[in-house]
Amino acid sequence: MGKRLILVLALALLVGLTFSAAYAEVQNVKVSGDIIASGVAREHFNLQSGAAGDKKNIDQSFFMTQTRVRIDADLTDNVMATVRLINERVWNGQNDSSSSGNIDLDLAYVTLKEFLYSPLTLTIGRQEIRFGNGLIIGNAKVPATGIVNIPTDLTERKAFDAIRATLDYDPLVVDIIYAKINEQDTTRNNDTDLAGVNATYALNKNTNVSAYYFLKSDNNNGTSASKGKADKVNTIGALVSSSPIENLLLSLEGAYQFGKVDGATAPASNYNSRSAYAIQAMADYTFAKVKMTPKVGASYTYLSGDKSGTASGQSSWDSMYYDQKLGNIAYALLAFTDLSVYNLRASCKPVEDVTLSMLYGYFDMAKKKDGSWNYTSAFTYDGTNRYFSNANLRAGKGHLGDEIDVTATYDYTEDVQFGLTGGIFLPGKAWDVEKQNATQLIGSMKVTF
Query: How confident is the model over 314-345, as pLDDT tens digits?
Result: 789 999 999 999 999 999 999 999 999 999 99
For the residues of 138-205, what is the DSSP string, one character each?
A: S----PPTT-TTS-GGG-----EEEEEEEEEETTEEEEEEEEEEE---TTSS--EEEEEEEEEEEEET
Does residue 3 have a pLDDT over 90?
A: no
pLDDT in tens, 120-177: 999 999 999 999 999 999 999 865 555 567 899 999 999 999 999 999 999 999 999 9
Alpha-carbon torsion, ordered 150, 152, 155, 161, to 10 deg:
130
Instruction: Return the percentage of the chain with pLDDT > 70, whole number.
Output: 82
Side-chain half-sphere of 152: how many Cα atoms within 13 Å?
20
User: Pick from 238, 365, 244, 248: which is nearest to 297 by CA?
Assistant: 248
Which residues have C-beta within 8 Å of that of residue 131, sequence separation ≥ 6? 137, 138, 175, 198, 210, 212
pLDDT value at residue 93: 64
β-bridge partners, 176: 165, 197
DSSP state of 318: P
Q: How far apart are CA 442 and CA 63, in angstroms?
A: 10
Which residues have C-beta within 8 Å of that of residue 311, sequence separation ≥ 6? none
Q: How far apart are CA 275 and CA 379, in angstroms?
A: 25
Residue 428, sorted as left (phi over 0), alpha (psi -120 to 50) or beta, turns out to be beta
Q: Say if CB 276 and CB 304 are below 8 A apart.
A: yes
Neighbours of 70 (CB within 10 A): 17
Residue 247: phi, psi to the nearest 5? 75, 5
pLDDT in tens, 69-128: 999 999 988 999 999 999 998 998 655 555 545 788 999 999 999 999 899 999 999 999
Q: Say if CB 403 and CB 424 are below 8 A apart.
A: yes
- Range 236-259 average pLDDT: 97
Q: How far apart are CA 214 and CA 209, in angstroms?
A: 17
User: Pick from 433, 374, 398: which is nearest to 45 by CA?
Assistant: 433
pLDDT value at residue 56: 52
Q: How far apart are CA 82 and CA 110, in angstroms?
A: 6
Q: How far apart are CA 403 and CA 196, in angstroms?
A: 34
pLDDT value at residue 260: 81
Per the model's pLDDT, the better-predicted residue between 121 and 191 turns out to be 121
Which residues have C-beta within 8 Å of that of residue 67, sequence separation ≥ 6? 33, 34, 35, 36, 86, 87, 88
Q: How far apart are CA 104 and CA 87, in angstroms?
A: 6
pTM strictly above 0.75: yes
